[in-house]
């Protein structure tokens, strides 16, 4: 498919040399001047270059950007006051939430104390009112104990 490689001697290679050909000078032909009603067709401008060529085209006026309305300057003090107001409002909201949380926590603790008092008071009431109904208590003989304490044996 491919021809076999045949080594060539450098002298056998064919060389083509191209010499640049100078361009003929352009003939300067002035553009015909056509009278046109003003305002309907833009004017045509022609420029003669240093080598004698003429470039003809429409003159393009640069696009003017629309004027920007000047912004009034804002003082740094006004910005600082505004930012301080925003920070103050955020702090007030946070304090409102904090005081609400503290009030809820205080109410919770208050309810826990009342619950503990009711449970403890009920336990004490059960102990007091059920002690009189018992018959299996310990009887202490005071006279005998006093005698034993004073070591009088009889």
Per-residue pLDDT averaged across 81-86, rounded? 90
Per-residue pLDDT averaged across 108-133, rounded? 86
pLDDT of residue 116: 94
pTM here is 0.31
> Which percentage of the chain shows pLDDT scores above 90?
12
pLDDT of residue 119: 93
- DSSP character string of 109-139: HHHHHHHHHHHHHHHHHHHHHHHTT------
Q: Is 48 helix (H, G, I), strand (E, B) or coil?
A: strand
Per-residue pLDDT averaged across 55-63, rounded? 76
Whole-angstrom distance, CA of residue 78 vs CA of residue 71: 15
Per-residue confidence band for 104, with pLDDT thresholds at 50, 70 and 90 = very high
Whole-angstrom distance, CA of residue 117 vs CA of residue 95: 33
And the tokens for 62? 């640069």
**Which is more confident, 119 or 54?**
119
């Amino acid at each position: 498919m491919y021809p076999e490689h045949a080594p060539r001697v450098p002298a056998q290679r064919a060389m083509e040399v191209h010499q640049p050909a100078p361009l003929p000078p352009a003939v300067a032909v002035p553009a015909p001047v056509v009278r046109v009603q003003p305002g309907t067709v833009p004017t045509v401008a022609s420029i003669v270059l240093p080598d004698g060529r003429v470039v003809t085209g429409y003159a393009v006026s640069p696009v003017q950007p629309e004027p920007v309305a000047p912004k009034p300057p804002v003082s740094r003090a006004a910005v600082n006051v505004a930012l301080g107001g925003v920070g103050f409002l955020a702090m007030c909201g946070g304090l409102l939430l904090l005081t609400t949380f503290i009030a809820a926590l205080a109410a919770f603790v208050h309810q826990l104390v009342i619950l503990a008092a009711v449970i403890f008071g009920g336990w004490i009431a059960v102990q007091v009112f059920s002690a009189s109904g018992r018959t299996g208590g310990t009887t202490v003989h005071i006279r005998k104990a006093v005698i034993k304490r004073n070591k009088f044996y009889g």
